[in-house]
Amino acid sequence: MKISYHGHSVVKIETNGTTILIDPFITGNSNTDLEAVNVQADVILLTHGHGDHVGDTVEIAKRNNALVIASAELADILSWEGVRTHAMSIGGAYQFEFGKVKLTQAFHSSSQVNPETKTIIYTGMPTGILFTAESKTIYHAGDTGLFYDMKVIGELNNIDLAFLPIGDNHTMGPEDAALATEWLQAKQVVPIHFNTFPSIKQDPHYFASLLKEGVGKVLKPGERLELIP
């Protein structure tokens, strides 16, 4: 299984002949190495409805006929735009041909904002994602603050790789993310959701220094690692 990081919270997973994108915020993302018009994907996983996570989902999904997996409300909204969707809810899991997806809770918000009409559309509960394939489990926490049930997530799942936000202000900061790492018992952790905007400026290497040796993996946009079954 090949996993690559592409700035902000964008993660690509290649497994069993399937390319999966998580939170494809590309257009407007100054830290990504991708161009939305060239991105190929079979599946898109979304953690919540904010623009810096849904990003280019509709354009990518329509061009590739990709399946979009998201919380029920967000899936409904995207389906109205002509996108193929699979709706899920927190605590539920589903075994797809390419792997198993389970949504976890996340402490954040989830909405779409229209500044012209000054309206906010609720897009369901924010989530984290547990993805299992090739006997490996990846946890993408989405946007979240620290919560004690991360300890339960770690106890119930053998997490090989976790993606945790460290930007602070809107999510966990480095210190809270380090505690989350301890609770999750993840073998490797990649920091995400930092430095894209001034309000979430952080040093990812400082975060890695708070972890046990070898656990923190700071990836530049476009860098990847491989999980061997």
The pLDDT score that the predictor gives to residue 195 is 98
Distances 44 to 68, 129, 146, 176, 190 between C-alpha atoms, Å? 5, 12, 25, 28, 20
pTM for the model stands at 0.97
Interatomic CA distance for residues 122 and 186, integer angstroms = 32
pLDDT tens sequence across 11-65: 999 999 999 999 999 999 999 999 999 999 999 999 999 999 999 999 999 999 9
The pLDDT score that the predictor gives to residue 134 is 97
Name the region of 29 (left: φ>0; alpha: ψ -120 to 50; beta: rest): beta
Residue at 222 is within a domain: no
Residue at 204 is within a domain: yes
Residue at 228 is within a domain: no
Cα radius of gyration (the chain): 16
43 contacts: CB under 8 Å, gap ≥ 6: 18, 19, 20, 21, 66, 67, 68, 69, 96, 98
Residue at 49 is within a domain: yes
Interatomic CA distance for residues 71 and 85, integer angstroms = 10
Residue at 225 is within a domain: no
CATH at 53: 3.60.15.10
Residues of the chain where predicted confidence (pLDDT) is lower than 70: none
The pLDDT score that the predictor gives to residue 229 is 83
The pLDDT score that the predictor gives to residue 71 is 98
When divided into structural domains, the chain yields a total of: 1
Distances 213 to 126, 154, 172, 207 between C-alpha atoms, Å? 31, 19, 21, 12
The residue segments making up the domain with residue 147 are 2-217
Residue at 223 is within a domain: no
68 contacts: CB under 8 Å, gap ≥ 6: 43, 44, 46, 57, 61, 75, 78, 83, 84, 85, 86
Residue at 227 is within a domain: no
Mapped onto helix, strand or coil, the DSSP state of residue 19 is: strand
Interatomic CA distance for residues 157 and 205, integer angstroms = 26
Q: Are 34 and 45 in contact (CB under 8 A)?
A: no
Residue at 64 is within a domain: yes
Interatomic CA distance for residues 17 and 42, integer angstroms = 9
Q: Quick one: how many helices (H) and strands (E) in the chain?
A: 6, 15
